[in-house]
Amino acid sequence: MFSFFKKSKKENLYSGEPDSPYAFTDDQKKAILVSLYEIANSDQEFHQKESEYHKKISDFLDYSIRKRKLKRLLSKDKDYLYRLLSEFSESQKDWYVFNVVGMVYADGKIIKEEFEHVQKFLFSIGFSKDMINRNLEESSKSLDKIV
């Protein structure tokens, strides 16, 4: 009778936690989407497959930002948003790193410079080198099997 009140379960893009998009605040969701856009656009192009992956993350988070607003947030609120990323719980960091690597892999290949850029970015927002390297390695292995 009250089944229409139940939230539908979203596809989890990572087998670990968090299993709910509601584990993030709206500002954290915004920070995730802005940072993934910046990572995808690091080569000055937001490719079709990157756009599709970004959309999947946006759908999972149940949060949408238009491309124009992404660019504006990057120029105005970037420091604040990126500080939010460093405040993630360990499971949120694991999920986030997996999806950062997923964004880099979205076009089916990864070059050394992109991998190094991601490492530097994650370190700059406060993720430990050990956590970054462990998660990048695990995520890369998982995505190699998928791609």
Is 18 a member of any domain?
no
Is 11 a member of any domain?
no
Q: How many CB atoms lie within 10 A of CB 90?
A: 9
Write the CA distances from 20 to 13, 24, 69, 77, 143, integer angstroms.
11, 8, 25, 25, 21
| Poorest-pLDDT segment among 7-21, 94-108, 113-127 | 7-21
User: By residue range, what is the domain housing residue 77?
Assistant: 24-146
Is 7 a member of any domain?
no
pLDDT in the model for residue 22: 56
Q: Which residues contact 36 (CB under 8 A, 6 or more apart)?
A: 53, 54, 57, 99, 100, 103
Position 147 pLDDT exceeds 60: no
Find out whether 39 and 104 touch, Cβ atoms under 8 Å: yes
Is 10 a member of any domain?
no
Number of domains in the chain: 1
Is 58 a member of any domain?
yes
Which residue is it, tokens 């292995």? 141
- Tens of pLDDT, residue by residue over 53-74, are 999 999 999 998 887 888 788 7
Is 95 a member of any domain?
yes
The predicted model gives 67-84 an average pLDDT of 81
**For residue 58, which of 32, 40, 82 has the smallest C-alpha distance?**
32
Is 59 a member of any domain?
yes
- Tens of pLDDT, residue by residue over 17-48, are 455 655 888 889 999 999 998 888 877 778 89
Is 17 a member of any domain?
no
pTM recorded for the entire structure: 0.77
- Residue 66 belongs to domain with CATH number: 1.10.3680.10
Find out whether 142 and 104 touch, Cβ atoms under 8 Å: no
